[in-house]
Amino acid sequence: MFQIIVSNRAKKSIKKYKKVQRSVLDLLIILQENPVPADHYDIKKIKGERDTYRVRLGEMRMIYEISWTVKKVLIHDFRSRGRAYD
């Protein structure tokens, strides 16, 4: 089981977008068991980054990094599609 760590930046964004809060919570629960649940979500590895992925939730993107050795998932950011990769 992986530990989920959500950055302050991501927490603020998740609170801001109330429509997708339930979807985010469901995703975080799934990430605890399987950090790359490609069969449930549209997940892609970010090119040029090591163990960093993005997951699509409608028009929103969640950027997260997996630390396989210590079994942690760090949620870096949660933003709209146009701003997620800045």
Instruction: Decide: 55 and 41 in contact? Cβ < 8 Å.
Output: yes
The DSSP secondary-structure symbol of 49 reads: S
| CB burial string 23-39: b at 16+ within 10 A, e below | ebeebbeebeeebbeee
Nearest to 14 by CA among 32, 1, 28, 29: 28
pLDDT in tens, 27-81: 999 999 999 998 889 999 999 999 999 999 888 999 999 999 999 999 999 988 7
Mean pLDDT of 4-23: 92
Domains of the chain: 3-80 (3.30.2310.20)
**Rounded Cα distance, 46 and 9, in Å:** 19
Which amino acid is located at 5 in the chain?
I
